[in-house]
Chains A and B, each alone.
Chain A
């Protein structure tokens, strides 16, 4: 064991090159030429291999699609004596870090549950002034979060361009403010040609809404006599869901991580998470860093996935 460690420290590059054959999805051969772009790709491959070796993860067992539920910003802020907006800002910083890490580990798709439809609390007519003030605070928080998401999209464009991430924004467009819609559209257009990694931001999204809107589209097609109700099957319905942008291979998350100790799905990716491994952690989202992420990935890699075929369930 010590001899092999000595070998790694003395000849790091040789050790890393031996692991290249495991990294299938990058599609590079061992012998790279001296072209600068290939040097850059080789550099990235080196980074990936180093990252994997350092963290003890195995490349062939890496999930292709990870879904994240960002929970706990407010509680994190309260615990540290910050204000709620600062908690959300810290959440944004943590998100950027996790997206960078995902690219470093070679995870092709990341879906982020930014804001649910349940988070919208509509102000109701009430004569009680404290309730009204509470409701106005909550609507302010909603406005702040929308503005923060828009800022995050614009500020992280450099990351998206550098790592060749294609950005998709899914969710109910009628609930989003116009400026966020514009930012989302711009980001999608600028990153349309990227195909290496995918980032889906689920804003004003809910799993049931997704299925209902797919049902509405199919109902319209049935009414227009383009198809019969009996023809509707799973793949057709899946094709109308919002996460269809990733296609069949990547559409369903392999791993769904939920922070802050909540043991629920909360209406996120209902259909797509049928066979996902769920990972629940008590850490609050702004504290979810590299160590926690590696722990989650290691837990995923140690699980045996059967998809209902080798056991009863």
Chain B
């Protein structure tokens, strides 16, 4: 792995966190987190010891960010933001670094944006990490992505990552059966160990296709119906035929329950970086009333200011979105 990465001088991802001694106190309250006068952290650097940087400039940036968040919080804030992380390879090509390293920088961007979202009060964040279609790509690249995933999950499990400090609940949405054994086990272990956490919710879609999610939900609903009918027939001694007509019809709520995203609210904003305007089989069922945005930035460059701009655009469109959402609640 160890290709030295050349970071741009104005690092978009400097994020202030308490010094290492106080990291545990982060989880106590969000107010403490925001108001602490803290040294800045560069999450791109691998070793925890190197992550802490102090500086007046960093504190000033911290202060500015808090002011900006306070200002935009006057408007309606989204509860759930979904990201389609497009542009890692193009980023690597632009910066003349190895392609695998582009995905690593992309991972750091995930962590940074998770922290920004948490600071803004956005509780749910979903990222489209790997599509089932991506298995058809170059095997070396697929393998490097899987290795990256395993490595990062193990880091979180060993309590060495920033994600763990946030008391973050991590979900993996997707058909985990398609992953290799070690990756699948690591993912399941992480989901189990963070199931009780009450902090921000990070949902990683890997390997995910919205169409296969819907098919999965449909087959589960059909199986459930069949078992329900079976149970009734077995329990019903006299065999009254009229019983079969009494069942309520399958509805949207039934399918919602069996989606991978059951329990999570629908995304308010879907951001696809690198300027492409398509959903690529991502959360088709859940994004009916989401605000779609496609900034031209590549994913590793997506930083705080882009997120603020995204939220501002959402706030502009909010009245109309709310109206349509309320209307739709009464319908299918």
Contacts and interface: CB of A to CB of B under 8 A. Distances in A.
B317 interface: yes
A312 B290 contact: no
Nearest to A207: B288
Contacts of A214: 218
B281 A222 contact: no
A195 to B, nearest CB: 27
A312 B89 contact: yes
B137 A223 contact: no
B102 to A, nearest CB: 9
Contacts of A218: 218, 222
B131 A313 contact: yes
B130 A274 contact: no
A278 B270 CA distance: 13
B318 interface: no
Residue among B218, B221, B225, B249 with the highest chain A CB neighbour number at 10 A: B218
A206 B289 CA distance: 13
Interface stretch (A34-42, A100-108, A114-122, A186-194): A114-122
Residue among A230, A263, A266, A267 with the highest chain B CB neighbour number at 10 A: A263
Range of interface residues on chain A? 35 or more
Interface stretch (A9-17, A52-60, A141-149, A301-309): A301-309
Contacts of B136: 308-309
A208 B304 CA distance: 34
A218 B254 CA distance: 14
Interface in B153-197: none
A264 B289 contact: yes
A118 B103 CA distance: 41
Interface residues of B, number: 60
Interface of B: 84-86, 88-89, 103, 128, 130-134, 136-137, 145, 210-212, 214-215, 218-223, 225-226, 229, 249-252, 255, 272, 276-282, 284-285, 287-293, 317, 320-321, 324, 327-328, 330-332
B290 A271 contact: no
Nearest to B287: A265
Contact of A237 (B145, B215, B223): B215
A264 B332 contact: no
A262 B321 CA distance: 9
A20 interface: no
B331 A308 contact: no
Contacts of A223: 225-226, 229
Contacts of B85: 312-313
A244 to B, nearest CB: 15
Nearest to B134: A308
Contacts of B103: 312
Contacts of A264: 288-292, 321, 324
Contact of A277 (B229, B277, B290): B277
A72 B166 CA distance: 45
A46 interface: no
Contact of B84 (A266, A279, A305, A313): A313
A214 B160 CA distance: 47
